[in-house]
């Protein structure tokens, strides 16, 4: 996907309607397209915050809690806008899980003052609120839930994000490794693998290889995740 096509997808999916042409032109000027191979990290100025629109592929946002250890903050997929904070107490990286195409724009370009800035400020606010919502969900998952509840919750979240059509016949392809899943959930790889096996033995999911997955019993998986039933 070339830059015009990426920007058109970003405009249609993300930008507030009714922005003046001058604002669109300024955003085009400030925005750059990046193609990443699987495993490649997006090269950013750590002193600046950014928004990245994921036009295709999957990425992970990670925080470095020490010089040798990262903590995965969130996973992102086609159509997502990712807020990459400036370096403060932690440094943040955005790394491709699959081949990926992104549009990258400095956050201060959205916050730039001017008569037409209100729509862009709403966009920045919305994406920041989305990031906070994901953080709250992660805190809930990691709080008092068992290993099985954490893994079941993770599968439900990814199932909801990716849908059941990426492979056909209800299958999805997980772009992240078991180790990355474990890191995001605060578990060991062995525990994650064991929980996948237990959920499969319970007849709730089906797996094929290391990445293909299908949910067989959605209500049962929701119960394993500790989710409350939805009132009729």
Residue intervals in the chain for CATH 2.60.120.10: 3-141
Q: Please tell me the predicted confidence (pLDDT) of residue 232.
A: 35
CA distance 107 to 51: 6
Q: Please tell me the predicted confidence (pLDDT) of residue 201.
A: 96
Options 1.10.10.10, 3.40.50.720, 3.90.660.10, 3.40.50.1100; CATH for 146-224 is 1.10.10.10
Per CATH, which fold does 3-141 belong to? Jelly Rolls (2.60.120)
Beta strand spans in the chain (E) = 32-36, 50-56, 58-64, 70-77, 81-84, 91-96, 100-106, 172-173, 205-208, 212-215
Q: How many residues does the chain have?
A: 232
Q: What is the pLDDT along the chain (232 residues), one digit of tens a residue?
A: 788 899 999 888 877 777 788 878 888 888 999 999 999 999 999 999 998 999 999 999 998 877 677 889 889 999 888 889 888 888 899 999 999 999 998 888 776 645 555 555 555 556 556 655 555 555 555 556 799 999 999 999 899 888 755 444 678 999 999 999 999 998 999 999 999 999 999 999 999 988 999 999 999 999 999 865 544 3
Q: What pTM was computed for the model?
A: 0.83
Residue intervals in the chain for CATH 1.10.10.10: 146-224
Output DSSP code: residue 77: E
Q: How many CA atoms lie within 13 A of 67 on its CB side?
A: 0
């Amino acid at each position: 996907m070339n830059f015009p096509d990426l920007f058109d997808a970003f405009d249609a999916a993300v930008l507030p309607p009714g922005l003046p042409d001058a604002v669109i032109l300024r955003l085009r000027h400030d925005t750059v397209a990046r193609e990443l191979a699987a495993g490649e990290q997006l090269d950013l100025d750590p002193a600046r915050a950014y928004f990245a629109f994921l036009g295709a592929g999957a990425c992970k946002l990670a925080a470095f809690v020490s010089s040798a250890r990262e903590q995965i903050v969130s996973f992102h997929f086609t159509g997502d806008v990712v807020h990459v904070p400036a370096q403060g107490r932690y440094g943040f990286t955005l790394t491709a899980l699959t081949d990926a195409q992104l549009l990258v724009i400095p956050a201060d370009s959205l916050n730039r003052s001017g008569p037409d800035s209100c729509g862009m400020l709403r966009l920045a606010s919305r994406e920041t609120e989305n990031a906070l919502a994901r953080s709250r969900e992660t805190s809930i998952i990691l709080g008092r839930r068992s290993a099985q509840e954490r893994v079941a919750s993770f599968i439900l979240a990814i199932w909801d994000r990716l849908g059941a059509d990426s492979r056909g016949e209800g299958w999805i392809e997980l772009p992240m490794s078991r180790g990355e899943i474990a890191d995001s959930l605060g578990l060991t790889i062995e525990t994650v693998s064991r929980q996948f096996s237990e959920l499969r033995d319970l007849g709730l999911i089906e797996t094929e290889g290391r990445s293909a997955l299908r949910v067989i019993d959605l209500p049962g998986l929701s119960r394993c995740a500790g989710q409350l039933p939805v009132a009729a």
